[in-house]
Amino acid sequence: MKILQAASEAVPLVKTGGLADVVGALPDALARAGVSSRLLLPGYPAVRAALQAPRTLAPLPCPWGGVAPRLVAGRLEPFAQAPAYVVVAPELYERPGGPYSDPTGAAWADNHRRFAPLAWAARALARGADTAWRPDVVHAHDWHAGLAPAALAHAGQPAASVMTVHNLAYQGLFPAQAFLDLDLPAAAWALEGLEFWGQVSFMKAGLQYAQAISTVSPRYAQEIQDPAMGCGLDGVLRAHRGGVAGVLNGVDYGVWHPRIDPHLRQRFDAHDLRGKSVCKAELQQAQGLRPDPQAMLMAVVSRLTSQKGLDLLLQVLPQALQHGAQLVVLGQGDAALEDGFAAAAKAYPGQVALRRAHDETLAHRVFAAADVVLVPSRFEPCGLTQLYAMAYGALPLVHHVGGLADTVVDTTLESLADDQATGLAFYRFDPSALASALRRAHLLWSRPAQWTQVQQRAMAQRFDWDRAAHAYVALYEQAIARRSALATLG
């Protein structure tokens, strides 16, 4: 079985969030399961710089005119164990700013043109553009690759397709006239196709045409089929004949483990936590926090967006800091949230620190230093932050939704007695519920024996990619079977 992973980002080459972690880790896990898997990525500068021995396989469409994108094969460091594919189009990808937006943070107006070539490249490979390797399944990740299942369906289904929703809130919506740039037949512009309230939806394209749909946690798979969290696509999801599978994301413990982490000044594990105290002291000094080992150090490592519930945290932050707790925030995003945490750092010198950046090395050090990692998300498809926190002995404090509910066991009298607690949770998205959870965290912090019990239970959890890979293999097999059934009916 041969699988093409089509996505817009992959660690360590390009990362804006958890999608990149998933796409970067899944090919190795699939290889261990005996499945051949190759990446297909846009030709951002970092991707092209990592591409070795490139060879052009085929030109790709360019309905709007200009220089046509090219499908190029080669080897990508650090994925050199297998060939990879890159869409080379300098006018589309080699720009200032991020993968999806300009330097001001505004989405590129031609993002439909920038990501449609992923679908055309997948279609070309499924038709045999690389004579040495032809995928049985195209695995499309999130809206950026959502056009691929549609392109395959309207090309006679040369490969099966699987669509994974990493975050349904981001749907790749474009004006109706964008359809003219997508190299699809007129029949695709329909209620049963890409059309979504008079717009083009890349996400809907993936959901409508894929033989199998998954998302990144079991609970989120259920939540998005309800109108409250379905973002207008709940009906499409409920109508899918194969249903929606929930495959929980994994953690690459070869990268995220305090016993082997090269970014830490002193390493540690659940059996010897002394190194965590050293990491905490170092971070306090580096970020201008009061050097106090008794202060409960809270951390946020996140994109600063309303989805992450950080506006709620700002509302209750004065209460949370009353008992001497500290907070370090690592992230960037919405200007209002950045300004809010900057104001808190000014109002509480030595207690609050803000680092406006995406810094992978510092993220490792924050997890190693923190006592509590805050993930108060409004909704959360899976979340990797809470999984990294547990691995590093930092108790996750989460809103009980999506993947957060699937992975964190709230600390209660019962879960303590059963030795099952791995963090703290609140169940209503309002300030009083979050404040209560923060208060419970501080009370637990004041009881070292119970704190250590929960900490060690959290560090013992394993969310490995091998388990997830086997679930995806089953999904690929289902998709191939459904494609065969469609061919028989046709």
Quick: pLDDT tens for 432-454: 999 999 999 999 999 999 999 99
- In this structure, the answer to whether residues 85 and 144 fall within a common structural domain is yes
Q: Does residue 76 sit in the same domain as residue 121? A: yes
Q: How many domains are contained in the chain?
A: 2
| pLDDT of 272 | 95
User: Within a domain: residue 260?
Assistant: no
Query: Do 330 and 217 fall within a single domain?
Result: no
User: For helices 465-489 and 18-32, what crossing angle results, to 10°?
Assistant: 80
Strand order in the sheet with 395-399: 352-355, 326-330, 297-301, 372-375, 395-399, 424-426
In this structure, the answer to whether residues 89 and 208 fall within a common structural domain is yes
CATH number at residue 409: 3.40.50.2000
85 located within any domain: yes
In the chain, the percentage of residues whose pLDDT exceeds 90 is 93
Averaged over 39-64, what is the pLDDT?
A: 96
Average pLDDT, the chain: 95
Indicate if 196 and 314 belong to the same structural domain: no
Same domain, 175 and 320: no
Q: Model confidence at 485, in pLDDT bands (50, 70, 90)?
A: confident
Q: In this structure, are 288 and 397 located in the same domain?
A: yes
Domain assignment present for residue 293? The answer is yes
Please report how the helices 431-445 and 310-320 are oriented relative to each other, as an axis angle in degrees rounded to 10.
50
In the block, tokens 């164990």 appear at 81
Average pLDDT over residues 260-265: 96
Distance in angstroms (rounded) separating the CA atoms of residues 95 and 80: 26
Token code pair at residue 299: 């951390």
Whether the per-residue pLDDT at 329 is higher than 70: the answer is yes
Assess if residue 171 is contained within a domain: yes
> What average pLDDT does the segment 156-169 reach?
97
Residue 426 inside a domain? The answer is yes
| 485 and 441 both lie in a single domain | no
Are 444 and 472 part of one and the same domain?
no
How far is the C-alpha of 36 from the C-alpha of 29, rounded, in Å?
Answer: 10
Same domain, 423 and 471: no
Residue 256 lies in a domain: no
At 402-418, the pLDDT tens digits run 999 999 999 999 999 99
pTM over 0.75: yes
pLDDT digits (tens, 9 = 90+) for 12-23: 999 988 899 999
CA distance 259 to 266: 9
DSSP 398-424: EESSHHHHHH--B--HHHHHTT---BE
Mean pLDDT of 288-301: 97
**Ramachandran area for residue 92 (φ above 0: left; ψ -120 to 50: alpha; else beta):** alpha
- Taking only the tens place, the pLDDT of each residue in 186-215 is 999 999 999 999 999 999 999 999 999 999
Residues 6+ away with beta carbon under 8 Å from 465: 25, 26, 28, 29, 250, 251, 252
Do residues 288 and 364 both lie within one domain?
Answer: yes
Domain holding 298, by residue range, is: 274-459
Do 131 and 18 fall within a single domain?
yes
φ/ψ (deg, to 5) at 266: -140, 130
115 within some domain: yes
